[in-house]
A and B are shown apart, each in its own frame.
Chain A
């Protein structure tokens, strides 16, 4: 199935909130999910990230942008950052959210060492990653995200309905 980027971002954001993640991290995860899927990333990485709201790249990777900025300022344009194990699958998607010109970005894992983000970027050039018009996402991923997102929904009360837009018998005036 294909979706707009905003549909995917909104759904993933709600899913992260439904899974128990704090709202800011959920928002960033929503945006990163779009880049992950647009880049052909595996849906399982998203599912793994959502599994544990106490230990997840969703909590750690929002801080990656600041680490990148700091490292680029100190020793750019080519930098290497050590990632937490488990963060490697989504690190590039979070990196793509930054408004800097990225020449090269890759994740590798030397034998016996933690994963690393290897990046060459120009801090002085503002740039934003372009997204395709449609984002493909498998139905089972959408179903899983929708199930988590539903945990943020609340059944509207009668009072709410009575006070909502269009309430009252005046629609044929």
Chain B
């Protein structure tokens, strides 16, 4: 008889009505289930080793390099191309046409002809065509201030200023990381069965982590000296992200569910722990102190976001006091209960904190975050069943007044010039008739109203094809409770930045630095292991790591 794996006890999950509100999603923090963490754990567990078979970089820092890593029985190579970029051409905007550096994550080890091909194509980015051997396409610009400082200091035989490294956090920031078939690169389906890289955005995270190594090597090459590993570890990779990322969460509902379900299940397992050891308690206290340092170092120019950080800083000592006096029974549940007295930001930071010491009961959930099947339609048998499902899962949408301009002011569209998602004012800008279908709440309400007096659902669907998207969303949420953002994404109160933060937190981003309600800078891999750290204790102990922790 086949043995059944023991079921890990868990408390009730937090309800979607709480978790899937947009403001709550916009308060997310990286956790040990974030994709970069998951990838680094796997690299470390597999004993992956990074080699640099090609380094053709000149004295000015221009040329190309190749980094290769074996993972899950396959080799992957980052081809990095560095070119001269005049300051006046350096822009983070997606409409840019030139960058300091360009990258391709290649499937295998490229020969000379393939390297030549990539070196010619990668700097052109969207204007070039790529092949199925090219898995990820990216580019990055220098943080001129820090890059120049680090090179100058190394040339002078000194180490760079730690405070400056801390405040900037990266030598370069990517402005796009393309995967899944864009511009001819490989479809995700081609690698989704590959061990260790099958997870969501694993190939993209591998690319970013290797780019970080290239930026380190480049400043050491130009500076003629080695960086202190402690400082080097704290040089992550930056990213500028705009609206292009936001619709993904709407167009991939099963993925959004799977990511959220994994995190919420992890939380429920930790909350169900009947007790914790003294060592685990000490770890929690140490991590809470690390978080406090992170909060102290997290400074942004945007006053609204800074006020949220200020509140977090003010509330965190109270969380620390709760940690110091946890009850013996279900202590993690008690901590989460206590956190509910604080702001959503503090609550979500607590969620990320309590997952951290309990990898043994949490980490297996990372295997459930992909979506190998895509949305599978499970049709409703009757109008009554459909209406009941709407009332159960979209009650919040039925309450909205779409006759009021405040509920419909925004419209999402795809820009003509770069074919990128944008958002406009329906009453002040042209193009609303070409709106992208992110108005899920409005559509579901319209479906519900159209079902009044309908008996034959199949006949209704044939004669009312415009409601099929709404019907599919209802069918999806009936099976995948966390698949839907529970807010009106065309309301004038909608803040797309919340969608960006949600997705970026799942990636593992920190130091969110919103520049408007539509784009943000972030840092990835700050404090992350260097290639030589893989296999050591450092490899999985860098949550919110700072220079002083």
Please list the residues of chain A having a beta carbon within 8 angstroms of any beta carbon in chain B: 2-7, 14, 21-25, 59-60, 62-63, 65-66, 99, 126, 128, 131, 133-134, 150-157, 159-160, 163-168, 170-173
Q: Which residues of A contact B144 (CB under 8 A)?
A: 172-173
Q: Which residues of A contact B141 (CB under 8 A)?
A: 171
Question: B61 interface residue, CB < 8 Å from A?
Answer: no
Smallest CB-CB separation from B183: which chain A residue?
Answer: A7
Question: B145 interface residue, CB < 8 Å from A?
Answer: yes
B182 touching A154, Cβ below 8 Å: no
A22 to B11, CA, bound (A): 41
Q: Given A2-B184, A22-B466, A131-B189, 5 other A-B contacts at CB below 8 A? A: A128-B372, A155-B431, A166-B94, A166-B242, A171-B141
Smallest CB-CB separation from B414: which chain A residue?
Answer: A153
The distance from the CB of B171 to the nearest CB of chain A, in whole angstroms, is 13
A5 touching B240, Cβ below 8 Å: no
- Which 3 pairs between the two chains have the least Cβ-Cβ distance? A165-B242, A6-B181, A166-B92
A5 touching B422, Cβ below 8 Å: no
Q: Which residues of A contact B414 (CB under 8 A)?
A: 14, 152-154
A167 to B175, CA, bound (A): 12
Question: B417 interface residue, CB < 8 Å from A?
Answer: yes
B413 touching A154, Cβ below 8 Å: yes
A164 touching B519, Cβ below 8 Å: yes
Q: Which of B41-93 contact A (CB under 8 A)?
A: 87, 90-93
B190 touching A172, Cβ below 8 Å: no
A160 touching B242, Cβ below 8 Å: no
Sample of 16 A–B contacts (CB below 8 Å): A4-B187, A6-B180, A6-B182, A22-B466, A22-B468, A24-B469, A63-B458, A151-B434, A153-B415, A155-B415, A156-B422, A157-B424, A160-B424, A171-B91, A172-B90, A173-B145
| Known contacts A165-B242, A166-B175: A3-B184 contact under CB 8 Å | yes
The distance from the CB of A135 to the nearest CB of chain B, in whole angstroms, is 9
A66 touching B431, Cβ below 8 Å: no
Binds A, one of B223-231, B373-381, B393-401: B373-381
B465 touching A59, Cβ below 8 Å: yes
What per-residue 1/0 map shows which CB atoms of B92-125 lie under 8 Å from chain A?
1110100000000000000000000000000000
A154 touching B419, Cβ below 8 Å: no
Q: Which residues of A contact B281 (CB under 8 A)?
A: none
Smallest CB-CB separation from A159: which chain B residue?
Answer: B429
Question: B275 interface residue, CB < 8 Å from A?
Answer: no
A25 touching B90, Cβ below 8 Å: no
Question: B547 interface residue, CB < 8 Å from A?
Answer: no
A62 to B93, CA, bound (A): 38
B180, B189, B465, B472 pick with most chain A CB within 10 angstroms = B465
B243 touching A165, Cβ below 8 Å: yes
Q: Which residues of B contact A166 (CB under 8 A)?
A: 91-94, 96, 175, 240, 242, 519
B422 touching A154, Cβ below 8 Å: yes
Question: B518 interface residue, CB < 8 Å from A?
Answer: yes
The total number of A-B Cβ pairs within 8 Å is 148
Smallest CB-CB separation from B185: which chain A residue?
Answer: A4
Count B-side interface residues using an 8 Å CB cutoff: 65
A171 touching B417, Cβ below 8 Å: no
| Known contacts A134-B132, A153-B415: A7-B184 contact under CB 8 Å | yes
| Known contacts A155-B417, A156-B416, A156-B422: A164-B518 contact under CB 8 Å | yes
Smallest CB-CB separation from B91: which chain A residue?
Answer: A171
Q: Which residues of A contact B372 (CB under 8 A)?
A: 128
A63 to B461, CA, bound (A): 9
The distance from the CB of B177 to the nearest CB of chain A, in whole angstroms, is 13
B187 touching A154, Cβ below 8 Å: no
Q: Which residues of A contact B94 (CB under 8 A)?
A: 164-166
Smallest CB-CB separation from B517: which chain A residue?
Answer: A163
The distance from the CB of B267 to the nearest CB of chain A, in whole angstroms, is 30
Question: B143 interface residue, CB < 8 Å from A?
Answer: yes
Question: B344 interface residue, CB < 8 Å from A?
Answer: no
The distance from the CB of A128 to the nearest CB of chain B, in whole angstroms, is 7
A63 to B462, CA, bound (A): 9
A65, A66, A131, A164 pick with most chain B CB within 10 angstroms = A164
The distance from the CB of B322 to the nearest CB of chain A, in whole angstroms, is 38
What per-residue 1/0 map shows which CB atoms of B464-475 lie under 8 Å from chain A?
011011011000
A154 touching B184, Cβ below 8 Å: no
Q: Which residues of A contact B145 (CB under 8 A)?
A: 173
The distance from the CB of A81 to the nearest CB of chain B, in whole angstroms, is 14
Question: B241 interface residue, CB < 8 Å from A?
Answer: yes
A154 touching B424, Cβ below 8 Å: yes
B376 touching A99, Cβ below 8 Å: yes
Q: Which residues of B contact A6 (CB under 8 A)?
A: 180-182, 187-188
Q: Name the contact of B187 in the complex, choosing from A5, A126, A164 (C-beta under 8 A).
A: A5
Question: B272 interface residue, CB < 8 Å from A?
Answer: no
A5 touching B181, Cβ below 8 Å: yes
A154 touching B515, Cβ below 8 Å: no
Q: Which residues of A contact B471 (CB under 8 A)?
A: 24
B437 touching A23, Cβ below 8 Å: yes
A62 touching B182, Cβ below 8 Å: no
The distance from the CB of A163 to the nearest CB of chain B, in whole angstroms, is 5
B415 touching A156, Cβ below 8 Å: yes
Q: Which residues of B contact A59 (CB under 8 A)?
A: 465
A22 to B37, CA, bound (A): 39
B187 touching A131, Cβ below 8 Å: yes
Smallest CB-CB separation from B133: which chain A residue?
Answer: A133
B469 touching A165, Cβ below 8 Å: no
A113 to B202, CA, bound (A): 51
Q: Which residues of B contact A131 (CB under 8 A)?
A: 187, 189
